[in-house]
Amino acid sequence: MNAKGTFVTFGWTPQEPYDVADGTALAFVTLSKTFEGDLAGSSSVTMIVSSSEREDSRSYVAMERVSCALGGREGTFVLQHNAVSDQGEDSLVCAVVPGSGTGGLTGLRGRMQILVAPDGSHSYILDYEL
């Protein structure tokens, strides 16, 4: 099955880097999201961001707890993000953490694509099994 829709981010709260060496910084960031569409709900995200002096090279890892309605069921699950931008070449793996589903989403498995439009708006495609 797949779910499609949009999301907005808010409350982006970067912290001062906790480690800086040779022009590369590591910092924590927290933020929230609101989802609309086939997956409707909200989430909280904690990420570690690595940024360098190169504008087009950075990465992040994150854990995101999603509380939502999906496919007529309600519950929560956790997404794990791993993203890299290497001189403008982007890759992102965003997967449901196995065993993290609760309530009606117990047993959820899948992967999410995050798409960014030229105007900066975000959409998602969640391919999943229940």
10-28 pLDDT tens trace: 999 989 999 999 889 999 9
The residue type at 85: S
For the chain, domain boundaries: 2-129
As its CATH architecture, domain 2-129 has Beta Barrel (2.40)
Separation CA 109–CA 66 (nearest Å): 13
86-130 pLDDT, tens digit per residue, is 887 888 999 999 999 999 999 999 999 999 999 999 999 999 999
Dihedral of CA 4/10/103/106: which sign?
positive
Smallest Cα–Cα separation from 10: which of 51, 43, 59?
Answer: 43
For 1-130, where are the E strands, in sequence order?
Answer: 2-14, 19-21, 24-37, 39-51, 57-70, 73-86, 89-96, 109-116, 122-129
Residue 54 has what pLDDT?
A: 78
